[in-house]
Chain A
Amino acid sequence: MKIEQSQVKYVASLARLRIDEAEQDKWSEQMGAIIEFADQLNELDLHDAESNEQGSTSLYNVFREDERKESFDRDKILFNAPEQYEGCYVVPKIVE
């Protein structure tokens, strides 16, 4: 099974990944193979099965109190920023 190239392009743009033209085919095939593998799940009758959406946890109502604590020092937070200017992160100009 192959995933349509248009699908591959769409998924890549959603994920902000760039797929070379040359590689489109490879992705089509590989993704297709994995999806085919995943389609095994269709063998099961899931008609009445509840969706286990909260994963492995049976916890609920985990909260914290509304308390203000000191924030991190700005220099510490910005330490890893690839580009910063006057206390802010920098991105290419955005026109809204």
Chain B
Amino acid sequence: MSTIHEYAELLKQRKLSSVELTKQYLARIEKADAQIGSYITVCSDDALAAAGKADERIAKGEATLLTGIPVGIKDNICTEGITTTCASKMLYNFVPPYDATVTKRLKNEGAVILGKLNMDEFAMGSSTESSYFKKTKNPYDLTRVPGGSSGGSAASVSADLAPYALGSDTGGSIRQPAAFCGNVGLKPTYGLVSRFGLIAFASSLDQIGSFTKDVTDCAIVLNAIAGYDKMDSTSVDADKTDYTKALGLPLKGMKVGVPKQYLESGIQTEIREAVENAIKVYEMLGAECEECSLPLSKFALPAYYLISSAEASSNLARFDGIKYGYRAEEYHGLTDLYEITRSEGFGEEVKRRIMLGTYALSSGYYDAYYKKAQQVRGLIKRDFAACFEKYDVLLTPTTPTTAYKFGEKSDPVAMYMGDICTVAVNIAGLPAISIPAGLDKKGMPIGIQLIANSFDERKLLTAAYAYERETGYEKLRPTVKEVE
């Protein structure tokens, strides 16, 4: 099934070498990625060099579960010496002189970086359509979007062009594409995984997480990337834990809440059915499922757009053509340099968010928009806290619909509505996971979401693993003609 844990076993038993495994993936990418479009940059030479080193380490018996296993990294996570573009013209040629902390941690494990994955420009979007470089296609149906903003990460794992991938989630950018492409996508608790080296979109919402084929792999990757980082002031110094120990724990007595606001109108029938089916599975496994309420749910989306745009407008102000990246060719004076560089370097959606964010913070509007949104944020956190006094995890759909066709969501507000099941989680800083729950009538993957309280990833993994064991949906794979 080409999971990390299977490969790790093969590598350990020397039935396979890292170099061979890496070559296999590079060959698959070569053949199929022209169709899928998941990679912006492929690092064949670096990957093979890393694979060689990994093989030496395996031979010495010093391997970890991730040693020698290839990975794809979303192109907003800095990788030293490898172009990191955020899928934007603004950073088309930016080569970071440093590694993100998560990149360092994976390299310390001996991971093999295959390349940088496509995304919505600066992580703003839900379909990867706003990438400056290319569109990524959903491996289940090439006329449909893979989701976003981590569309390349989702598609690459789905089409097995990488055994696993890193992505980032600000309002659902891991979970939504994971649902659209049939993967396991985890957004950890805010502060669990270092943001140092993640090119910022919305600082108080961004988190790095993983795309994996199954829940076991998810736990393995989390072990590697989670943990205190002194370079990130928002990084939490929590007790180190082995997340794989959460797998296989019994569900008896686990209380599962199903917030009714998430199943109100607008949810595709098959998705609603998937959630109802999951309730049955959990009850059968010994959990107690009950309807609960998150009354402020509908305010999460507007609060999210105000907070994220405001922070983004400030985070993206550094892109000015002076220190790195794109610089306008013709300009007369400083203001021209700024305005032309930024207008030519940024795409539509990015400009839209910057304009919105600037407006929300501007003189006279701060109280009406940004401050208000932050107040609502506090209330939403309280909403969740109240639920978690009663429940261990919450169960919801990940998305209101399955993957839609390219160009279908051209109105920005319509696009934003697709985040309705995911953004509240980022607002509250909670961990959440999307797991495969079958296919709809069109053959497109359905995802269901589990949400837990802060730093309760173990409960998520226990519940997700149990569901996976029972249903086997993670085994579904798209057919990618080029490599089948």
Binding site for B on A (CB under 8 A): 3, 7-8, 10-12, 14-18, 27, 30-31, 33-35, 37-44, 46, 49-57, 59, 62, 64, 72, 76-77, 79-83, 89-92, 94
B204 at the interface (CB under 8 A from A): yes
Kindly list chain B residues whose C-beta atoms are within 8 Å of the C-beta of A56.
190-191, 204-205, 381, 426-429
Give min CB distance, A53 to chain B, whole Å: 6
The one of B190, B233, B331, B343 in contact with A17, judged by C-beta atoms closer than 8 angstroms, is B343
What separation, in Å, do the CA atoms of A17 and B359 have in the docked complex?
A: 13
Kindly list chain A residues whose C-beta atoms are within 8 Å of the C-beta of B301.
37
Of all chain A residues, which has the CB nearest B428? Answer: A56
What separation, in Å, do the CA atoms of A90 and B305 have in the docked complex?
A: 36
The reply to whether A16 and B342 contact each other, CB–CB distance below 8 Å, is yes
Of all chain A residues, which has the CB nearest B191? Answer: A57
Binding site for A on B (CB under 8 A): 93-95, 97, 190-191, 203-205, 230, 233-234, 236, 296, 298-299, 301-303, 305-306, 313, 317, 320-327, 331-340, 342-343, 346, 351-352, 354-356, 358-360, 362, 369, 371-379, 381, 412-413, 416, 426-429
Give min CB distance, A47 to chain B, whole Å: 10
The reply to whether B234 and A51 contact each other, CB–CB distance below 8 Å, is no
What separation, in Å, do the CA atoms of A94 and B335 have in the docked complex?
A: 10
The reply to whether A33 and B412 contact each other, CB–CB distance below 8 Å, is yes
What separation, in Å, do the CA atoms of A92 and B305 have in the docked complex?
A: 35
Known contacts A57-B190, A59-B191, A89-B323; is-contact A35 B97 (Cβ 8 Å)? no
Which of B333, B362, B372, B429: most chain A Cβ within 10 A?
A: B372
Give min CB distance, B452 to chain A, whole Å: 14
The reply to whether B205 and A31 contact each other, CB–CB distance below 8 Å, is no
The reply to whether A3 and B334 contact each other, CB–CB distance below 8 Å, is no
Kindly list chain B residues whose C-beta atoms are within 8 Å of the C-beta of A92.
331-334, 336-337
